[in-house]
Structure 1
């Protein structure tokens, strides 16, 4: 097996940008390849962020696209929108993700062993995009646990227990070794229908193992991986094994500001007033300006801050076929004065319930919208 490539996708969002800066500064010997899947429907701030990152990293961020787009004068989104005969993407039919993100990425990798670095933070409970291709392995540097669920499943599978125990004695002694063996011995059934219970046991095993030492756990997993076909199997060592950093949202904003890259303007809060009540709104994500994962308050933000883009988003809708960006409501209906008022008042009410968290970022109170979005697009 060839040595793996190290790749990092830049979505235009804060997390992937901060991850690129963080890894570049902390692990300068790793030869990262950066890429960006352009839909042609990003906000201007996204493209500016890409330019700023290229200057900071001293490397070109490769723009990926599929072969069928070559020679086309249309944006990638418009090209595929026509291919799907005007059928808008949705949470149930994410052709945008499949055609403009995953397909060009897997073509870029081209079957070669690849380590893909993902910017999911230490304060998030989500896994992110895991490729089904055996040659692609995901790593999560911001989290306490850097390994993906597929790796953990292999590591904690009962049939691999004896193999895992061979590596434990290198990093554990005495009581810690006994505790780790007890963790391995806890029954877990990956074949059972009760997925919720399996995930609960897996999480318990993971955190119990990490409590005995993050570097020790990472090195045990790494040694185990050398007996598999994972891309890291060919590596003599891996620099992130001893990293105990856990980065959360506040760290992401700090990295962007201290580096001089800056936070994209669409994350900045804008004040509004309705019925004498004051509120604030912003955009919670990168990605297409008409992303169907947006909350209603974010659509209102787009309408009031970028009316031309909102109008463009409206032109894609076909109300006769019920092809609208939001279920059962067109963008024309969404911006009726009474509806705008209702959405804003509802947002103010939800926001006030979250004030006790004392977060300086509106992103914390947009109903967890980041976690609901497409992980491939919004890192």
Structure 2
């Protein structure tokens, strides 16, 4: 099959890495020179590329706003993909019903499989595809790797030696900036993602109280067994929002920031995004790779 029949796709998560990748691959040689990546192999600009975003229907408002801005920057639409769901229901609510009201968890990530991966693979079909993934050279993870034979994943940032500071530089110098939710959250994804740290749940309550209340409505107790279904294994959102508990969470988060600040090197660009950097360092590496690139 000829190269012209191969589709080139970048899955955008609404996060910094995949957004920077989309910008980078439009003018890779200019960015290589700008970033001082003199040892990187020259790349042909990606002209005939498709941008896609898998929308669960439960993303943050800031994510949708950032995607709109990114479309303008790229000069090309980002295809919004959604899992099938009945009219009036978000894809998440539809699948929550199919799974008997059982909330997704680290041990049962039905949300990733049904709301992110399936729509993406259905969109691709059986066409040969090169899937460009925004994993950096300073990361020890693989990202989304499809089991379908027709999808080949490549990692331009890793191949060209780009690290986190380069990503910030691309976003800053392109005029794109980073998503506003990084003011209080470390990653893109659903507003109620169970991988959120407690400090991020507090951030959700303070920045989007209406979403926090919606997240609370999903939690329930089985009247027959007394078993609790909550986003966190150790406490409900009702318990977490107690004022004393919130102060405790904030105090511990501040202590972590101070410890991490002492360990950070004095990098001028990173200082602009200190909170982003701290949250990344706090990150335990868990999460759904296709959601958080």
TM-score by length of 1: 0.66
Deviations 1:253-286 (CA, angstroms, capped at 9, x unpaired): 2212222222111113xxxxxxxxxxxxx20001
- Structure 2: distance between partners of 1:373 and 1:35: 20
* Match for residue 133 of structure 1 among 144, 148, 158: 148
SS in 1 for 2:292: coil
1:288 aligns to 2:202 (yes or no): no
* Runs of at least 5 residues in structure 1 that lack an aligned partner in the other structure: 145-244, 269-281
Match of 1:347 in 2: 253
Residues 322, 328 of structure 1: 8 Å contact kept = no
Off by >6 Å, runs of 4+ in structure 1 = none
Equivalent residue pairs, number:
264
Residues 2, 113 of structure 1: 8 Å contact kept = no
- Structure 1: distance between partners of 2:70 and 2:45: 15
Give the root-mean-square deviation of aligned CA atoms.
1.7
Residues 205, 211 of structure 2: 8 Å contact kept = yes
Residues 294, 369 of structure 1: 8 Å contact kept = no
Question: In the TM superposition, what is the alpha-carbon distance from 1:2 to its structure 2 partner?
Answer: 4.9
Question: In the TM superposition, what is the alpha-carbon distance from 1:28 to its structure 2 partner?
Answer: 2.9
SS in 1 for 2:80: strand
- Structure 2: distance between partners of 1:292 and 1:29: 35
* Match for residue 364 of structure 1 among 270, 273, 277: 277
SS in 1 for 2:103: coil
* Match for residue 162 of structure 2 among 247, 258, 269: 247
Question: In the TM superposition, what is the alpha-carbon distance from 1:9 to its structure 2 partner?
Answer: 0.4
1:262 aligns to 2:141 (yes or no): no
Match of 1:375 in 2: 289
- Structure 1: distance between partners of 2:123 and 2:94: 20
* Runs of at least 5 residues in structure 2 that lack an aligned partner in the other structure: 29-43
- The equivalences for 1:1-379 within 5 A come to 1-3=1-3, 4-26=6-28, 27-66=44-83, 68-69=84-85, 72-144=87-159, 245-268=160-183, 282-320=184-222, 321-355=227-261, 356-358=263-265, 359-360=270-271, 361-366=274-279, 367-369=281-283, 371-379=285-293
Question: In the TM superposition, what is the alpha-carbon distance from 1:365 to its structure 2 partner?
Answer: 2.7
Q: Judging changes above 3 Å, is the alpha-carbon distance between structure 1 residues 374 and 141 closer, same or farther for their aligned structure 2 residues?
A: same
- Structure 1: distance between partners of 2:179 and 2:158: 23
Q: Judging changes above 3 Å, is the alpha-carbon distance between structure 1 residues 312 and 80 closer, same or farther for their aligned structure 2 residues?
A: same
- Structure 1: distance between partners of 2:164 and 2:247: 30
- Structure 1: distance between partners of 2:284 and 2:9: 23
Deviations 1:325-359 (CA, angstroms, capped at 9, x unpaired): 01121001011122112211211222221112145
Q: Highest CA radius of gyration, 1 or 2?
A: 1
Residues 8, 32 of structure 1: 8 Å contact kept = yes
> Mean Cα displacement is larger for which, 253-262 or 90-99?
253-262
- Structure 1: distance between partners of 2:282 and 2:138: 12
Residues 8, 118 of structure 1: 8 Å contact kept = yes
Residues 45, 265 of structure 1: 8 Å contact kept = yes
